[in-house]
Amino acid sequence: MAEEAQPGTRRPGTTGRPVVLITGASSGIGLATATRLADAGWHTLLSGTDRARLDALAERTGGSALPEDLSKPDGPARLAEAALAETGRVDALIASAGLGWRGPFAETPSDTLDRMIEVNLAAPLRLVRHLLPGMLERRHGRIVLLGSMAGQVGVRDESGYSATKGGLAMFAESLWYELRGTGVGVRLVLPGAVDTPFFDRRGTPYQRARPRPVPVERVADTVLATITTGRDRLYVPHWLGLPARIHGVAPGVFRRMASRFG
């Protein structure tokens, strides 16, 4: 971590390494990120819903498996408590757990919508609320939120998912202002389509001609970079920043382009 995050006193087992809590570590971006961070010398606290996969990852990385269901309102509190009990502190939070669904909004199953709101939006906010006081007290830390281009520009037939990611982006933006000068950094990573099991789990495959899904390792590398550098908003791939800017300054033009090119 940068100079803001010098290691302090830790519980036995972390061997003086900085500690990172990663949600969604069972697969996809979370799993790849955990591997990258372990290789970079971090002690990883691995959360997800697949205990067997978490245990296998913990064995490979020397981390700790902390299974938890973040779709439950009390899940984030239990996870934060378990993380602090395991290592005494959390130097960085990587909130990469996410759920999606594709289809007309009027046909979105109510339980699916509720779970997306809980996992994609409410859980990161609740985790930050539990872990931020310790970071502020130590005057160092990193909060890395995995957003989505869908939350920047909107996507047809993904209204609910886009809304949760849009809310997460505004949380990151507002928190960035609030935490300036505290030693705690807020980072927002904004991938487009990523080659993960995400699309299988949402029930429909990725069907767009462009952009093509990027390898999950590319997103993991970006997460690692945003922890160790001062850049607070990164697009993956980076050229997606251009359509995001067009949407911001000329939304009508963007909508016409999106309608034409899909």
Catalytic residue annotation: 161
Q: In Å, how far are 74, 111, 139, 178, 230 from 3, measured between CA atoms?
A: 34, 43, 11, 20, 11
**How far apart are the C-alpha atoms of 197 and 209, rounded to whole Å?**
18
Q: What's the number of CA atoms in the CB half-sphere (13 Å) around residue 215?
A: 4
The length of the chain in residues reads 262
**How far apart are the C-alpha atoms of 162 and 185, rounded to whole Å?**
24
DSSP run (H or E) holding 174: helix 159-179
Question: 109: how many CB neighbours lie within 10 A of its CB?
Answer: 10
User: Distance between alpha carbon 191 and the CA centroid of its chain, in Å?
Assistant: 10
